Structure 1
Amino acid sequence: MRPGVHVRRASSSDLEDLVDLCLLARAESGVGRQLCTDDRARLREQLSALASVPEGVALVATCDGEPAGLALCRVLGPGPLAAAAVLSLDAVYVRPQHRRRGLGHALLHAVAEAADAAGADDVYAAPLPGSRGMQRFLARLGFAPAAAHRVVSTTALQRRLALDVQVPALRPGARGLEDLIARRRRARARAAGELEAVRQAGASMSMQVSRAVHTRRPSASSTTTS
């Protein structure tokens, strides 16, 4: 850790600084609500709750005594679907003017110590879409792809579910299958129609030939007279 850079557990006196850092990260990320709320009062309550629960880890980094970065984590598990605890790194952020001074490494070092103290086998991180710098930073530290996250607002999810109930969505390829069945039915009907037309034409020709045979007059016999 470079001189002047320090990382520690956040206390109640750091709460407003954490709020400021979160709002800066929100504005820089461009994804807004996916990171945090823009309501200071609500954000203050959420950060206070995170720091107060045993599984919550809120870290603040200072550079020459000035709040310069944060890391927000949660210890998850063990549980019904996880045999061991893991540490989820929900957010890590450093002010632009304090970057390239080792704060990110210092924060992740403290994160690793928190994971080890909690008995967490793995550290999970979910960097926000578009944060290429953070993606590269985590990759250099050994973070590998594990899963893809998708997000939808609760309102949008409820609306789509209601629409799916009213109009059941077709399975992928179902429309193509229906079109194929319809084409085959039309082809069979067309073939059956052509066969019937041939059969009728054959019956008509046979009837005409029979009529001609029955109506033909016998040929006149040639006789000689003396």
Structure 2
Amino acid sequence: MRPGVQARAARPDDLDDLVHLCMEARKESGMGAQLCTDDAERMRRQVGALLAVEGGLVLVGTLDEQPAGLLLARVVGPGPFTDATTLALEAVFVMHTARRRGLGHALLAAAAQAAEEHGAVEVYASPLPGARGMQRFLARLGFAPAAAFRVAGTAALQRRLAHDPAAVGPAVRRGAPRGLEDLIARRRQARAARQPGDDAITARHLHVERAVPAAHP
């Protein structure tokens, strides 16, 4: 780590600086709305909640004792479907004027230390699409693709679900024919209604009908 570069756990009195850094990150991103809110007071409450909640990790990166970067993360797991604990990186940002000084590395090193202390076996990061600099930075540190995320607005999703033809099912779209289970049940009822001799006659009749085409192509 270079002299004057430090990454430490955030304190409540760092909230103003953290909000300022979040706002700067939003301005720089082409997808600001997906990064964070533009309401500074709301941003303050959200970062404060992450700072206070169990498993929340908020780091401040300083350059010559001046806040110039941040890292937001959460310890996730174990949960209903996995026994593993992971560290999910929500955001990593360094001010443009403080880059290429080792501050990003210092923040990630502190996050890796926190992950180890919490028993997290992996560290996940989900940088926004188009954040090429962050993508390259994470790739240099060994982050590999793990999954593809998709996003949909709640209201738009509800509208699509309400008008999706697939939601009514294939049976309704084709005039509600019987399903496979109904078909099997009807056939069983039909067999039960026949006399014992009828089944033998029907079987011999089908055997003859199928044998005739084979004998005369």
* TM bracket, shorter-chain basis: 0.7 to 0.9
User: Counterpart of 1:111 in 2: which secondary structure?
Assistant: helix
Partner of 1:217: none
Partner of 1:216: none
User: Counterpart of 1:38 in 2: which secondary structure?
Assistant: coil
- The 1-side partners of 2:25 and 2:163 are apart by 36
Partner of 2:68: 68
Deviation digits for residues 149-188 of structure 1 (CA, Å, limit 9, x no counterpart):
1111112111211222xx44799xxxxxxxxxxxxxxxxx
* Count of aligned residue pairs for this structure pair: 169
Partner of 1:7: 7
CA root-mean-square deviation: 1.5
Partner of 1:136: 136
- Letter of the aligned partner of 2:43 in structure 1? L
1:101 maps onto 2:79 in alignment: no
Partner of 1:29: 29
- The 1-side partners of 2:95 and 2:168 are apart by 48
Partner of 2:123: 123
Paired residues of 2:161 and 2:167 also in contact (CA < 8 A): no
- The 1-side partners of 2:33 and 2:163 are apart by 25
- The 1-side partners of 2:87 and 2:118 are apart by 8
User: Counterpart of 2:128 in 1: which secondary structure?
Assistant: coil
- Letter of the aligned partner of 2:135 in structure 1? Q
Partner of 2:87: 87
Percent identity of the aligned residues?
Answer: 63
TM-score normalised by L of structure 1: 0.72
**After TM superposition, what 4+ stretches of structure 1 lie above 6 angstroms from structure 2?**
none
- Letter of the aligned partner of 1:31 in structure 2? M
- The 1-side partners of 2:42 and 2:144 are apart by 33
- Letter of the aligned partner of 1:93 in structure 2? F
Is the radius of gyration larger for structure 1 or structure 2? 1
TM-score normalised by L of structure 2: 0.75
- Letter of the aligned partner of 2:159 in structure 1? R
- Letter of the aligned partner of 1:71 in structure 2? L
Partner of 1:181: none
- The 2-side partners of 1:116 and 1:44 are apart by 28
- Letter of the aligned partner of 2:39 in structure 1? D
- The 1-side partners of 2:167 and 2:84 are apart by 39
